[in-house]
Amino acid sequence: MAMARVFSEVMALIIFLCMPFILLFANLMAELDLVVKAAVILGSVFSFLMLPAYGFVTWQITVTETGIIGWSLIKRRELSFDKLIKLTRKSNFNWQRYVLTYDSGDITFPLWFERLDELIKSIREHLPVDLSPGGGGPRLFRQDTISFFMQFSQVAFGLVLTGVATYFAAYYFSSNKVSELDGLLIMVFVLVLGLSMFYRAIVVMLMPFRILLVETGLELSTIFFKKRIEFNSLQQLTASSPFLPEGFMLETTSGSYLIGSGFDSLDELVEQLRLRKLEAAD
């Protein structure tokens, strides 16, 4: 899966890179509008800048009896388990990936692998015990800023789309251009769309961008407030519904909160919350 995605994106970038030359060769560039020409040239320049980065994306990792082997388009690295230091999930500029640090560098690989959970578990079984996730003391987790604001942008777009749909539905319903049944169906659709977008907006606006784990609970920081939640108040932690942004829904006795997928070390955060919930229940 990872290899197929890497090669498909590389091929798309190559096409964008060659597009100006293809249009020039076909004598079509002169017929394009100035805005389209600028877009084609900018796309080609962007592809030229992005292509080298894909050479370092790890598209395959094999776990052997003595270590791991990682393949990228231009490099193969073989590491023994005693060289591994830590494995961390990172998110910057909405790019989510794992970073495996060893004694002289690191290997970065995306979340596109099949059986990713098995791979992560196999690697962590061979990490130094004192550096494995779940150490004592307060632990701070932060949401990637770009990812956080992208969720708000999607909410704003959804609300605008709902407003436009409501306007056109009301216009056609009042102008008698559709039958009463069709008009009723349109209004029901717009009502469901509006309620769904409104619910999504509320969940995203209450989404924490910072979570601090302390000895007895956690501190959530949203754009509106900070809240302290004791571990014995946790009810369940489940994957978010397909309608909401990707992440986990944390349900507590005082409310539910969406933990977005843009958090650094999200897997460690989820593991710690589930562990603390079980400890508090005992």
Domain 206-281, CATH class in plain words: mainly beta
pLDDT-based confidence at residue 257 (cuts at 50, 70, 90):
very high
Alpha-helix residue ranges (DSSP H) falling in the chain = 2-25, 34-54, 116-124, 145-174, 180-205, 266-281
- Secondary structure of 55-72 in the HEC alphabet? CCCCCEEEECCCEEEEEC
Looking at residue 256, the DSSP 8-state letter turns out to be E
pLDDT-based confidence at residue 211 (cuts at 50, 70, 90):
very high
Whole-model pTM: value is: 0.64
pLDDT at 170 over 70: yes
Q: Which CATH number fits domain 60-132: 1.10.287, 1.10.530, 2.30.29, 1.10.10?
A: 2.30.29
Torsions phi, psi of 209, nearest 5?
Answer: -110, -5
Residue 97: half-sphere exposure toward Cβ, Cα within 13 Å:
15
What is the model's pLDDT at position 268? Answer: 83
pLDDT-based confidence at residue 129 (cuts at 50, 70, 90):
low
**Dihedral sign from CA coordinates of 19, 24, 29, 31:** negative
- What average pLDDT does the segment 102-128 reach? 82
What is the model's pLDDT at position 145? Answer: 81
Q: What is the pLDDT of residues 172-182, one digit of tens each?
A: 777 766 677 77
